[in-house]
Structure 1
């Protein structure tokens, strides 16, 4: 059984965070493990509280999972604070996670919820940027690129992100405008554009987490990065197409089985930005 690890926060509403990651890992036939960084008080309407996990406890969760279960890929989500990020970076280096080792790292730089609630302390941005040098791929949306590198232009954002040291940048276009959503994957030399039509729904909670977790699941299963990103884009398209309403706010995306990515729809035919 292939194993993936998510280092992320808990969403009490069950739509995003490590809950979405675990749903996605399971959909791809990968055993999911967790290192919890924070517990949010959250539902479909918003985030009303955050409790951060002590940094050493986060690092210890990573350690015991890696030593016993040997994940084939790691994905990060909400990292909350600079001390937690620093502890995570040290743990990744020690255990060969990311570019310094043999375990690929998908870094989703989660800064805020889809409701606009902060999920990262303002003074943690520099610490988060310093973690990029370990990443196999970073996966920000346009709001996050504006915060991290000062631009929403995808090519310019990708260039600036790559200067921080990741092997690849995947700049997602779902927070843009127009009838199409285009995500850009680049290593600074070649480009892969993933084009999709926007699905008109407010039920997209957890779509970014799902995309990143799908990439990690496919990397854990042996895909190249380009193949993993393509499969993940197709999967998140299907996830949004099977989203549903629950609660009074934004409902979550669905997580249908996806053990055979070739069965998923072409992202150029229908899709959603994440």
Structure 2
């Protein structure tokens, strides 16, 4: 029987992030991907030129359709765009008992906003406490806490624990926005640090979809029944391989996508 994962996120017409990245990662990591589209974006490697939120009743109908028929092992939540969509998603998954991975996506790699400003606190108050694990980068963590950008390991850890205090069972603080030749990711719970993952910083502009890919990869591992630390470790290793092979794709003229199938075929 297939392991099934569900992504609830926005569509990226350029194929590098959002629903498209999630489904690629699910498949690459051996899970059957299902999807709920919360918004349609006109997007490529250079810019997001339009965002069209999906009507709330259609978002709810998609979730009900998948969960009523399929044995979903884990849910990944990405772009939700508005407070109303956040509430709709929270209500629709209220009875889901499996793990939920929340990617607190706010801004596209191009710098374009993907989450309305008034929705940030709604995301924190409504969905962060619902999540098994959240995966903020450092700017996102600061925005959720209304604090300054963490500039050292102590501050990163403190903000991670503060987000656990908001209600998340676990927080993966992603260090890609920090300085230095080595990137540090920290997995923590309210009890403290559970895991530190490091990787050399790769000199490439082709990192579109890294956050989506990491969170969906974690969801794939959890859908297969892996423990949290193992799911995060496997997802981190997969992501590093996808980034390392990204330049070979040579897609678009801006921030290009990762190579989600780097283990299967070479460009």
**1: CA distance between counterparts of 2:166 and 2:47?**
31
The aligned counterpart of 2:18 is 17
The aligned counterpart of 2:172 is 170
The aligned counterpart of 1:264 is none
Deviation, structure 1 residue 258: 6.0
**1: CA distance between counterparts of 2:221 and 2:53?**
29
**2: CA distance between counterparts of 1:258 and 1:136?**
28
Q: Report 1:30-179 matches (<5 A).
A: 30-93=31-94, 95-96=95-96, 102-130=97-125, 131-149=127-145, 150-151=147-148, 152=150, 153-179=155-181
**1: CA distance between counterparts of 2:60 and 2:231?**
27
Q: Unaligned 5+ residue runs, structure 2?
A: none
1:255 and 1:223, CA in 2 relative to 1: closer, same or farther beyond 3 A? same
Deviation, structure 1 residue 257: 6.2
Mapped contact 1:172–1:183 kept (Cα < 8 A): yes
**For 1:144-166, what per-residue CA distance to the aligned partner results, in whole angstroms no more than 9, with x for missing partners?**
11211124231121022112101
Q: Unaligned 5+ residue runs, structure 1?
A: 97-101, 260-274
**2: CA distance between counterparts of 1:256 and 1:241?**
12
SS at match of 1:72: strand
Give TM-score, length-normalised by structure 1: 0.90
Stretches of 4+ moved more than 6 A in 1?
A: none
1:11 and 1:183, CA in 2 relative to 1: closer, same or farther beyond 3 A? same
**2: CA distance between counterparts of 1:163 and 1:51?**
33
**1: CA distance between counterparts of 2:180 and 2:75?**
33
**1: CA distance between counterparts of 2:92 and 2:102?**
15
SS at match of 1:117: coil
Mapped contact 2:161–2:192 kept (Cα < 8 A): no
1:258 and 1:106, CA in 2 relative to 1: closer, same or farther beyond 3 A? farther
Mapped contact 1:28–1:257 kept (Cα < 8 A): no
Greater CA deviation, 12-21 or 190-199? 190-199
Give yes or no for the alignment of 1:253 onto 2:249: no
**1: CA distance between counterparts of 2:64 and 2:263?**
29
**For 1:238-258, what per-residue CA distance to the aligned partner results, in whole angstroms no more than 9, with x for missing partners?**
010111321111110011266
**For 1:162-194, what per-residue CA distance to the aligned partner results, in whole angstroms no more than 9, with x for missing partners?**
121010010000011100000010012231110
